[in-house]
Structure 1
Amino acid sequence: MKKSNAITHWFLGIVLAGCSLAVQAQAINFPHINTTGYAEVLAEPDMAEFSVQVVMVQDSAEQAKQKTDKVVDDFLQQLQALGLPREDIRSGNIQLLPQMHYPKNAKPEQKGYRAVRKVKVTIDNLEMLPKLLDVALKSGINRIDKVQLGVKDPSKYQAVARSEAIKDAKLKAESIAEGFDRTLGEVWQVNYQSPQVRPMLSRSMAMDSSERANSYQDTTIVIKDRVDVVYKLK
Structure 2
Amino acid sequence: MKNAFTRHISPAVIFFAVVFSALNVSAAEINTPTLSVTGYGEVVAKPDMAEFSVAIQADRSQAKQAKTAVDKVVENFIFSLTQSGMERKSIVSSHLRLSPQYNYPKDGKPVLNGYRAVREITVTVEQLDKLNTYLDLALQSGVNQVNSINLKVKDETQYKQQARQAAIADAKQKAQELAKGFDSELNGVWSIIYRSNSVRPVMMAKAMAMESRSADQGYQDEEMTISDQVDVIFKLKN
TM-score range, shorter chain: 0.7 to 0.9
Structure 1 runs, 4 residues or longer, greater than 3 Å off: 14-25
Question: Partners of 1:82 and 1:132 in 2: how far apart?
Answer: 8
Contact 2:191 2:233 in 1 (8 A): yes
- Show the counterpart of 2:231: 228
- Show the counterpart of 1:210: 213
In structure 2, relative to structure 1, the CA distance for the partners of 1:23 and 1:106 (3 Å cut) is farther
Shift of 1:27: 2.3
| Number of residue-to-residue matches in the alignment | 223
Matched, 1:219 2:218: no
**Structural mapping, 1:1-234, within 5 Å:** 23-196=25-198, 200-207=201-208, 208-210=211-213, 214=217, 216-234=219-237
Q: TM-score, with normalisation over the residues of structure 1?
A: 0.87
Question: Partners of 1:126 and 1:231 in 2: how far apart?
Answer: 44
Question: Partners of 2:207 and 2:136 in 1: how far apart?
Answer: 13
Paired residue secondary structure (2:154): coil
Unaligned runs of 5+ in 1: 1-7
Question: Partners of 1:75 and 1:21 in 2: how far apart?
Answer: 68
In structure 2, relative to structure 1, the CA distance for the partners of 1:43 and 1:182 (3 Å cut) is same
Question: Partners of 1:200 and 1:16 in 2: how far apart?
Answer: 51
Q: Percent identity?
A: 43
Question: Partners of 1:17 and 1:105 in 2: how far apart?
Answer: 72
Structure with higher Rg: it is 2
Question: Partners of 1:232 and 1:48 in 2: how far apart?
Answer: 45
Question: Partners of 2:193 and 2:126 in 1: how far apart?
Answer: 35
Paired residue secondary structure (1:30): coil
Contact 1:48 1:123 in 2 (8 A): yes
Question: Partners of 2:70 and 2:23 in 1: how far apart?
Answer: 64
Two-structure CA RMSD over aligned residues (Å): 2.4
Q: Which amino acid aligns with 2:205?
A: S
Shift of 1:114: 0.5
Contact 1:150 1:199 in 2 (8 A): no
Shift of 1:147: 0.5
